[in-house]
Every structure is written in C-alpha cells, then in structure tokens.
C-alpha cells in the first residue's frame, strides 16, 4: 500500500469521526460538523499546495494548476454531507480519492496537463431540506426560488439557513460557465452488489437514475382512542399506512421502479388519540424518465382514492424532480481504459443512487468511477470499501488524470 493510499485511508477514518452526533455519523447542510469537515478537507487541499476557497453554503474547492496552456479545468470531488447514521465512504471517499490521485501523480513526478479543481459539496443527500445537490447545483446557476423556500423540520427555509448560518467570512461564489470545463469526474462507492458479484474492485458508470422527491400529507380527525368506534374514525395514520403499502406494491409490480418512504411525522402523536394528520416523504426512482413520471401519476391516483375512501384530505407536495443522466461517452471511454489498466476489465454500470454528477451535467460532460463496497451496503454505519479496492479506485483516477483530455 503506497504512503499516499495509507494517508487516504487514515483521512477516511478522520473525516468519519466528524459528526453532529456522539452516537452515529451525521453531517447535514450547514451543520457544525459539516463546516468542521469542510475546514478539515481544506487543510488537506492546502497540504497539497492547492489554492483553496469556500462558498457561503459550505462547499469547498482546491485548485491544482495544469502544466500546459489548457485553461479549462477538470473538476473532481463529491459531497461532504452524509445521511443519518451514515457510513464513512459515501461522499467522503470521492473527495479524499481525488486528492490522493493528484498526489499519486505528483509523487511519481507527473502533473496534470490541465488544471484540476477538487470540490467538496456542502449537501448532496438533502437530509435537512429533502432537496438534493444543494452544494453542486450553484456551480451551474443560483438555487431556484422553490429550493430556497424549502423548509426544514423547524420551519426554517433554506434561504434563511444560508443567511443566518452560512459561512460568509471570506466566502466566494463557486460558479462555472457552460463550455468552460473539460468535465467532472466523481469516484464513489457503488452502493450496490454488482462489483462484488463480478469480483471487480472498480468500474466506470454509464448513467444515473432519475429521482422524484415529494411529501404527502393526510388529514383526518383526532379522536379519543377509547370512545371512538372504528367506523366513525378518520385515522390519518391508518390512511398513510395504506398509502405507503400501495407505494410498495406499485414498485414491486413494476421493477426497476423503486419507491421509499423514509420519514413520517404524526400529529398529535399521543398514544391514546386517533391520529389527526400524517406527513410522509416519498423517494421514487427509475432509470427511464417517462416511466418515472408515469409511476408518479399512478401513485398519486392510488393515494387520492385511498384518502377519499377514508374521508381524509390529501396534499401531494412535490419537492424535487431530477431526470436521469447519461454519462459522457468520451469521458467514460477514458475511464474504462483507466479501469481496464487497473482491473483488467471494462465494465460500465448504471447507478440507482443520485450523485453530484447529475447537477454538474448541466454545464459539462460527466463521468464516474464506482468502487466495490461490501455487500452493496450503504447509508448504513457498516458501509465498507476495502483498502485494496480504495487503492484500485485511486489508481484508476490517477491513470485517468494522465489521459489526454484536451
Ligand atoms: O439518495 C441518493 O441516491 C444519494 O445517496 N444521495
Ligand atoms: Mn448517499
Ligand atoms: Mn453519495
């Protein structure tokens, strides 16, 4: 294991200890841990001699100069934030591997022919506001009004959070014009099982599934748990339960559609009161955009008829829609070359998970590298990529940086 890879492995451990909770790993938009993580990684960028900067939302950037007259940078990186009770690799590995790949080149006396900018995005998971790509979308354009109006569990809007909690001191907008970049390449754990089944350490990514995120609220009537006969109830939680099972059966009926309800809030939340209202999230994904929007329409129809039959009112509140993205064939071909030189195999996989590459695809060609993760487990504290596979991923990225992109 090279000293560069050893350092990358210890950095994964260090970053994995930066959390907003003493009991599990969690870093969310503008949380204190997320800003501490940003500062920690900025220090690593400066150790590599990079010129660093940060945006008010906590996104960070390190700039490594090229060695030719090519001025268009290649962007590398991933996200600093995590889900709740997260693994140490989702996001973090992409940033740390980018720095390690650059350092690998420098250690062997090389340097990229083009400028390389490494980004640590403040928020990709969207845990606080149920939105996604909050750190990477501003590289292309200012966040839209609907996103800025999104509220967190305390009713704080995204705009208020940035104004009140933003890292404003010394902040600069990190923005790129379309056509001004060679591309964006992100290394990420696969978060699936295919590489493990294929016995491969790493591969390229061909496409990223589209996703729809929304909230549904059902409202009935609070009642006494002991004195209200079942036929007279308008129980919002039972209605939500039937809706959630309808979502699950729709997804089971129409693979590869996947639908997840990850969060539900019930009011009044008393064990001896019939629930008056239930608010739950929906995360719906499909590799094909038309199939995704068709599934959304069918699901809304099913849920509305469940609500009507139960005497409940239903609010269907879209939060964010993101179309599927095809990775750039030219970049992907270079990534396949690099992956083949390290693993001996050319494999391209589609991603069911979303990545910041989706947001960057608005302004430049994008490509991704997947690194095998144990059992495909992710969004879980036992998420794990082996040192050997991380070394292979860094090797693929370092090899890719030597390819003639310009
Ligand atoms: O939800 C996702 O696909 C990613 O982990 N943000
Ligand atoms: Mn994730
Ligand atoms: Mn991720």
The atom number, within ligand 1, closest to the CA of 378 reads 5
The helix-helix angle for 32-47 and 3-16 (nearest 10°) equals: 160
* Token digits of residue 66: 């090229």
Question: Helices 92-107 and 32-47, interaxial angle, to 10°?
Answer: 10
For the chain, how many helices (H) and strands (E)? Answer: 11, 16
Strands 348-351 and 202-208: parallel
Position 405 scores a pLDDT of 79
Nearest atom of ligand 1 to the alpha carbon of 125: 6
Overall size of the chain counted in residues: 406
> Residue 232 Cα, ligand 3 centroid: separation in angstroms?
46
Q: Are 356 and 133 in contact (CB under 8 A)?
A: yes
Of all atoms in ligand 1, which is nearest to the CA of residue 79?
A: 6
Return residue ranges of the chain for CATH 3.40.630.10. 3-209+324-401
Report DSSP letters for 295-325, one per residue.
HHHHHHHHHHHHHHHTT-EEEEEEEEEE--E
Fold of 3-209+324-401: Aminopeptidase (3.40.630)
Alpha helix positions (H), 18-89? 32-47
pLDDT of residue 144: 94
Distance in Å, CA 33 to ligand 2 centroid: 17
Give dist(CA 86, CA 330) in Å, integer. 33
CATH of domain 212-322: 3.30.70.360
Q: What span, in angstroms and rounded, lies between the C-alpha atoms of 13 and 35?
A: 17
Predicted confidence pLDDT, tens digits, the chain (406 residues): 999 999 999 999 999 999 999 999 999 999 999 999 999 999 999 999 999 999 999 999 999 999 999 999 999 999 999 999 999 999 999 999 999 999 999 999 999 999 999 999 999 999 999 999 999 999 999 999 999 999 999 999 999 999 999 999 999 999 999 999 999 999 999 999 999 999 999 999 999 999 999 999 999 999 999 999 999 999 999 999 999 999 999 999 999 999 999 999 999 999 999 999 999 999 999 999 999 999 999 999 999 999 999 999 999 999 999 999 999 999 999 999 999 999 999 999 999 999 999 999 999 999 999 999 999 999 999 999 999 999 999 999 999 999 887 7
Write the CB contacts of 39 (distance below 8 Å, at least 6 apart in sequence).
none
Is 354's C-beta closer than 6 angstroms to any atom of ligand 1? Answer: yes
Nearest to 120 by CA among 90, 86, 162, 76: 76
> Which atom of ligand 1 is least distant from the CA of 83?
5
pLDDT of residue 74: 98
Q: Are 26 and 82 in contact (CB under 8 A)?
A: yes
Cα angle for residues 351, 353, 358 (degrees, 5° grid): 80
Contact 149, 338 (CB under 8 A): no
CB under 5 Å of ion ligand 3: residues? 90-91
Query: 81 in ligand 1 pocket by Cβ < 6 Å?
Result: no
DSSP state of 225: T
Q: Does ligand 1 have an atom closer than 6 angstroms to the CB of 358? A: no
Question: What is the gyration radius of the CA atoms in the chain, in angstroms?
Answer: 22
* Residue with CA closest to ligand 1 atom 6: 125
Count the alpha carbons within 13 Å of 246 in the hemisphere toward its beta carbon: 18
CB distance 353 to ligand 1 below 6 Å: yes
**DSSP result, 246-287:** HHHHHHHHSTT-EEE---EEEES--TTEE--EEEEEEEEEES
Dist CA 96 CA 387 (whole Å): 13
Given this model, what pLDDT does residue 123 score? 98
Q: Helix, strand, or coil here: 389?
A: helix
- The answer to whether residues 398 and 8 touch, using CB atoms and an 8 Å cutoff, is no
Whether 210 lines ligand 1, by a CB cut-off of 6 Å, is no
Task: Kindly state if the Cβ of 125 falls inside 6 Å of ligand 1.
Answer: yes
- For residue 254, what are its two tokens? 């129409």
In a mutational test of the pocket of ligand 1, which residue from 79, 136, 355 has the highest number of ligand atoms less than 8 Å from its CB?
A: 355
pLDDT of res. 351: 96
Q: Is 227 exposed, middle or buried (0-12, 13-18, 19+ CB in 10 A)?
A: exposed
| Backbone φ, ψ for residue 47 (5° rounding) | -60, -30
Asked if residue 383 has its Cβ within 6 Å of ligand 1, the reply is no
- φ, ψ of residue 342 to 5 degrees: the values are -100, -40
Among left, alpha and beta (phi > 0; psi -120 to 50; other), residue 390 is alpha
Are the beta carbons of 350 and 287 closer than 8 angstroms?
A: yes
Contact 124 CB / ligand 1 (< 6 Å): yes
Residues of the chain with CATH 3.30.70.360: 212-322
């Amino acid at each position: 294991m090279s000293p560069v890879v050893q350092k990358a492995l210890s950095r994964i451990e260090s970053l994995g200890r930066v959390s907003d909770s003493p009991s599990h790993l969690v870093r969310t938009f503008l949380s204190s841990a997320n800003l501490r993580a940003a500062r920690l990684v900025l220090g690593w960028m400066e150790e590599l001699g990079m010129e660093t900067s940060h945006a008010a939302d906590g996104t960070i950037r390190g700039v490594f100069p090229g060695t030719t007259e090519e001025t268009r940078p290649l962007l590398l990186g991933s996200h600093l934030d995590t889900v709740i009770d997260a693994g140490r690799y989702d996001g973090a590995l992409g940033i740390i591997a980018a720095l390690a790949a650059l350092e690998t080149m420098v250690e062997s006396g090389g340097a990229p022919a083009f400028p390389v900018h490494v980004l640590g995005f403040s928020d990709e998971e969207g845990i606080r506001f149920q939105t996604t790509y909050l750190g990477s979308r501003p590289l292309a354009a200012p966040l839209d009004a609907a996103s800025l109006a999104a509220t967190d569990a305390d009713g704080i809007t995204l705009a208020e959070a940035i104004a009140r909690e933003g890292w404003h001191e010394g902040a600069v907008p990190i923005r790129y014009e379309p056509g001004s970049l060679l591309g964006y390449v992100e290394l990420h754990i696969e978060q699936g099982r295919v590489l493990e089944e294929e016995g491969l350490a790493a591969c390229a990514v061909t496409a990223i599934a589209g996703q729809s995120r929304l909230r549904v609220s059902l409202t009935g009537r609070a009642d006494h748990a002991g004195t209200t006969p079942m036929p007279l109830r308008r129980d919002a939680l039972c209605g939500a339960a039937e809706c959630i099972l309808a979502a699950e059966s729709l997804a089971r009926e129409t693979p590869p559609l996947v639908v997840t309800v990850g969060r539900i809030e019930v009011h009044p939340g008393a064990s001896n009161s019939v629930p008056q209202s239930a608010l739950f999230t929906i995360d719906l994904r499909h590799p094909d955009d038309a199939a995704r929007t068709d599934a959304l329409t069918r699901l809304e129809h099913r849920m509305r008829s469940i609500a009507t039959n139960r005497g409940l009112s239903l609010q269907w509140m879209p939060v964010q829609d993101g179309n599927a993205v095809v990775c750039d064939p030219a970049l992907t071909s270079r990534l396949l070359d690099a992956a083949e030189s390290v693993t001996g195999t050319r494999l391209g996989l589609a991603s069911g998970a979303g990545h910041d590459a989706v947001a960057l695809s608005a302004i430049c060609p994008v490509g991704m590298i997947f690194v095998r993760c144990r059992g495909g487990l992710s969004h879980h504290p036992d998420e794990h990529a082996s040192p050997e596979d991380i070394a292979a991923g860094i090797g693929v990225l370092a090899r890719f940086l030597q390819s003639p992109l310009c």
